[in-house]
Amino acid sequence: MRVRRALLSVSDKRGVVELARALRELDVVLLSTGGTAAALTQAGLPVTQVSDFTGAPEILDGRVKTLHPRVHGGLLGRPIPAHEAEMAANGIEPIDLVVVNLYPFEATIAKDGVAFADAIENIDIGGPAMLRSAAKNHERVAVVVDPDDYAAVIAELKAGGGALSAPRRLQLARKVYAHTSAYDAAIAAYLTAIDDAAVAAPDASPARRAFPDTVGAQWQKLYDLRYGENPHQQAAFYADARSALPGWPPSRPTIASAEVLGGKQLSYNNILDLDAALGLALELRDCAAVVVKHNNPCGVALGATPAQAYERARAADPVSAFGGIVACNREVDGPLAALLAETFLECVVAPDYTDEARATLAAKKNLRLVRAIGDWTPRTGDAVATLRSVAGGVLVQTADTGLVDVRAAKVATKRAPSDGERDDLAFAWTVAKHVKSNAIVFAKGGVTLAIGAGQMSRVDSVKICELKAGAALAGSSVASDAFFPFRDGVDVLARAGATAVAQPGGSVRDEEVIAAADEHGLAMVFTGMRHFRH
């Protein structure tokens, strides 16, 4: 279908002048509105205002400008004799291409202190209506909602003598419905998160509940995976569609936004383990390395250099490190790359890699190098929700961004921890937050000695640590992600060689547990915060 008339009306004006110029070179008539028309006119391009095309002025502060039969008839008329005759009888000319993107509603409500009236004014009406009309009639009309598609559209128009193919029109229409559904979901989530009192104070910023009555989220497929957790399961990897919005607040580095620099495609399990490793590495301020296996850290360490941190982390559990995932919160340099090359690893994730490191690791053909782009600075309190599916529903909660300053935690025992023990307790506590419950972490000198994960009994988690590390646990500090319900957990810790313990407290038997710690000469602090991870 040859494009003869195009309507351009965009909030995000990236590339729209270049697109319009290419359309004019193909003798396409340009229709436009408001600010878009002004931008095209300023660029020296001939533009017909939509109000002149329809014969109806823009009214109500621009709320009504494209809601007109000459616009929607021009979009919805099919290339069949009956429609063509009816359009001609009503003076309706076909519109073959629509280029529209919407008022920035999500970017608006993401701003601090945005007034209710401003949020409402940024709900687009005419834009979604045109998008949906054009997308429905993709049999004849092409519709572009994403500026990133301009280059491909221009190239095909030039190659096809001003025409766009049916597959291209369908592809563009798919994008429209994904975009408008996400847009409406965002509006519904905002309106169901505020109280009715907002209407009485439209110039104020209404308080928003953490959990709206309606939760809408959309993910865009990045790629299909070879299989899921097991070869008989199918799987794909999707990214949060909001991350591509102009003006959307920058997020922390994620695996969804990361770049795979080398090696074969990530697997389902790789992605899960990379996410776990990255999450812990992002919470460690000092130079650190994390080794993850089956979604649990098996070795974590601080170091003066990335190489030293990784060497210590690997040594914490060298057997489990084989075939593991490594995260480093500093750039991977040559010395670290040389150490990484010594062991079979599935993936490495880091802020970046030096040329020397990439050259060294290029020899490891199956090793995936992942560069996680973004701000790696540790921070807490991000207003992020996490979703987890169950049969027939989804659980939504705020992300576990809380982290107690263990160095200042309440001392529950007669003996207070030493400065060195406090440092190790703080380190172990950070690691324990990322270990599956029931979680027990032994640490000393900025390195984990043993990690007990995912056991039904907290005592069994301690016993696993004792079995793995033995005498090396002497003089260590321990973090427990939840309270000790009985004194037996403390008795086992003391037997293993621990000298200090951090736990949330809050058990009905706290006094019994504290007494046991005093009997063994342990220092114990209560954090007042639990970190279950199921």
Residue located via tokens 């207070």:
416
Same domain, 351 and 297: yes
Same domain, 264 and 184: no
The answer to whether residue 474 is domain-embedded is yes
The answer to whether residue 383 is domain-embedded is no
Candidates 101, 79, 78, 97; CA nearest to 141 is 97
Distance, in Å, from the CA atom of 203 to the CA atom of 114, rounded to the nearest integer, reads 9
**Residue 516 belongs to domain with CATH number:** 3.40.140.20
The answer to whether residue 461 is domain-embedded is yes
The answer to whether residue 231 is domain-embedded is yes
Tell me the pLDDT tens digit for each residue of 395-452: 888 888 888 889 899 999 999 999 999 999 999 999 999 999 999 999 999 999 999 9
> What string of DSSP letters covers 76-127?
H--SSHHHHHHHHHTTPPP--EEEEE---HHHHHTSTT--HHHHHHT--SHH
> Considering only 18-27, 196-205, 493-502, which range has the smallest mean pLDDT?
196-205
Same domain, 335 and 445: no
The answer to whether residue 376 is domain-embedded is no
Residue 248 has pLDDT above 60, yes or no: no
pLDDT interval class at 245 (50, 70, 90): very low
Contact 179, 146 (CB under 8 A): yes
What does the pLDDT read at residue 242? 62
How far CA 425 is from CA of 265, 418, 441, 448, 520, in Å, comes to 38, 10, 9, 11, 18
What does the pLDDT read at residue 243? 56
Tell me the pLDDT tens digit for each residue of 125-178: 999 999 999 999 999 999 999 999 999 999 999 998 999 999 999 999 999 999
Same domain, 347 and 414: no
Same domain, 83 and 149: yes
Same domain, 440 and 300: no
Same domain, 29 and 166: yes
Q: Which residues are catalytic?
A: 136, 294
| Size of the chain, expressed as the number of residues it contains | 534
Distance, in Å, from the CA atom of 217 to the CA atom of 219, rounded to the nearest integer, reads 7
Tell me the pLDDT tens digit for each residue of 28-57: 999 998 889 999 999 999 999 988 898 888
Mean per-residue pLDDT of the chain: 91
> Considering only 136-140, 210-214, 294-298, which range has the smallest mean pLDDT?
210-214
Same domain, 96 and 225: no
The answer to whether residue 243 is domain-embedded is yes
pLDDT interval class at 327 (50, 70, 90): very high
Percentage of the chain modeled with pLDDT above 70: 97
Q: Is the peptide bond before 438 cis (omega within 30 degrees of 0)?
A: yes
| End position of a domain, from candidates 171, 191, 211 | 191
pLDDT interval class at 393 (50, 70, 90): confident
User: Domain limits at 301?
Assistant: 221-371
Same domain, 289 and 354: yes
Candidates 376, 365, 368; CA nearest to 328 is 376
Query: How many structural domains is the chain composed of?
Result: 3
Same domain, 16 and 120: yes
Q: Which helix (H) or strand (E) holds 430?
A: helix 419-432
Contact 314, 292 (CB under 8 A): no
Q: What is the mean pLDDT of residues 219-237?
A: 92
**Residue 77 belongs to domain with CATH number:** 3.40.50.1380
Tell me the pLDDT tens digit for each residue of 485-533: 999 999 999 999 999 999 999 999 999 999 999 999 999 999 999 999 8
Does the reported pTM lie above 0.75? yes
Same domain, 265 and 131: no
Same domain, 225 and 127: no
| End position of a domain, from candidates 150, 174, 191 | 191
What does the pLDDT read at residue 342? 95
The answer to whether residue 215 is domain-embedded is no
The answer to whether residue 354 is domain-embedded is yes
Q: Is the peptide bond before 329 cis (omega within 30 degrees of 0)?
A: no
| End position of a domain, from candidates 371, 396, 419 | 371
